[in-house]
Amino acid sequence: MGDYLDGIAELLGSYDILGAFLVNVRLTLYSGVLAFVIGLVLAVMRVSPAPSLQWAGATYVNLVRNTPLTLIILGCSLGLWGQLGIVLADRQSPTFLLDNNFRLAVLGLSLYTAAFVCEALRSGVNTVPPGQAEAARAIGLTFGQSMRMVILPQAIRGAIAPLGNTLIALAKNTTVAQAAGVLQASTLMLTMIEFRSDLMVAIFLVVALGWLVIVLPIGLVATALSRRLGVAQ
């Protein structure tokens, strides 16, 4: 037992587990913000009175939601960078490869998650009473004005719970960034298991605990905000 505990202590001292999880947290934060912006635009398109915008928004959501995330990440990495030569970092930087891979992964995660953010916001729009939109039109507000000042503020409040679930899914999906060459928790876990297979159970428990620390607060905060800010029906 003592040797096993010594092995765990040596493992924790040899690998930067905290740093690996911080990469996942950064991926979650950056991708979450960008996905919200894209998803907000898509949600407005889906409820727009213009049929072409409705079609474009619905097509994006249906295509992206039914495309594997790994394929999207690889498309950003191998397609944008490998084939088209599009880079998102300074080529002269000593950390060019790491920065470029990270930003391409953020782009892929954002494009994928935006489809789910769109549907979460659209569900929030459905919680807004129809009379609100009718009242906005009655006082002369345009579609854009009524969305910005009347519908979306209430829709976002009504969509807090599904948005929280989407953020949790995004946090777990950041492990797929390994396909773009981003070193994070899942990559480190595979490395540790490869070199210390005798400590596989301990490695699994440490990584599981790390994900619990990341995911549990998101769920608790989302639940609390949903109860406090949810639109009364």
* Tally of domains within the chain: 1
Cα separation, 57 vs 35, in Å, equals 14
The whole domain housing 177 covers: 2-229
| pLDDT over threshold 70, residue 108 | yes
Residue 3 binned pLDDT confidence (cut-offs 50, 70, 90): low
pLDDT of residue 1: 61
pLDDT computed for residue 18 by the predictor: 87
Q: What is the pLDDT of residue 141?
A: 79
Q: Is residue 110 within 8 Å of 167, Cβ to Cβ?
A: no
| Its pTM surpasses 0.95 | no
The beta-carbon contacts of 18-22 under 8 Å, at least 24 apart in sequence, are: 20/183, 20/184, 20/185, 20/187, 20/188, 21/184, 21/185, 21/210, 21/213, 21/214
Any idea what the CATH number is for the domain that residue 147 is in? 1.10.3720.10
